[in-house]
């Protein structure tokens, strides 16, 4: 699986994202980074960089479309990802359904896209109710579009 970055993202921000993604993968909540490339800079487009990570099967969106909504145990697994991230003092800061990936074998969820993540934000568990309500709104919009 390859994640490309929008042109113009600075190399410093790109390396920070790689570092935070790697930290998350060490606690098994993000896919492993296989390699990354910092591209040359084009005067009009900026740097051209990408991350190659282990293959995952899909975002959480097809699961919502097929089930109508996530089951409670699936929500608990997703919330546990954020709690584990909290344990290493990283705030993902871009919670949306497109940044939650799923692997069939073994079945589990992962977080991706650490471009907006922050370090040293303190105790982030107080934001879980807001996080879940935001994701539930997205889930409802997704399932209503499917009807």
Q: Give the per-residue pLDDT at 102.
A: 96
pTM for the model stands at 0.81
Residue 2 confidence (pLDDT) above 70 = no
All domains of the chain in start order, with CATH: 2-145 (1.10.510.10)
Distance CA 96, CA 76 (A): 16
Name the token pair of 53.
Answer: 């990570």
Determine what percent of the chain is predicted with pLDDT higher than 70: 81
């Amino acid at each position: 699986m390859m994640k490309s970055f929008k042109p113009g993202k600075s190399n410093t921000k790109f390396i920070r994202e790689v570092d935070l993604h790697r930290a998350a993968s060490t606690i098994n909540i993000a896919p492993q980074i296989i390699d990354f490339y910092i591209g040359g800079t084009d005067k009009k487009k900026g740097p051209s960089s990408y991350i190659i990570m282990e293959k995952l099967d899909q975002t959480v969106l097809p699961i919502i479309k097929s089930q109508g909504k996530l089951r409670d145990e699936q929500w608990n697994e997703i919330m546990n990802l954020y709690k584990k991230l909290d344990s290493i003092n990283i705030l993902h800061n871009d919670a949306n359904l497109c940044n939650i990936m799923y692997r069939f074998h073994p079945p589990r969820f992962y977080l991706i896209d650490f471009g907006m993540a922050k370090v040293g934000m303190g105790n982030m568990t107080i934001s879980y109710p807001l996080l879940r309500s935001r994701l539930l709104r997205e889930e409802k919009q997704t399932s209503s579009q499917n009807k």
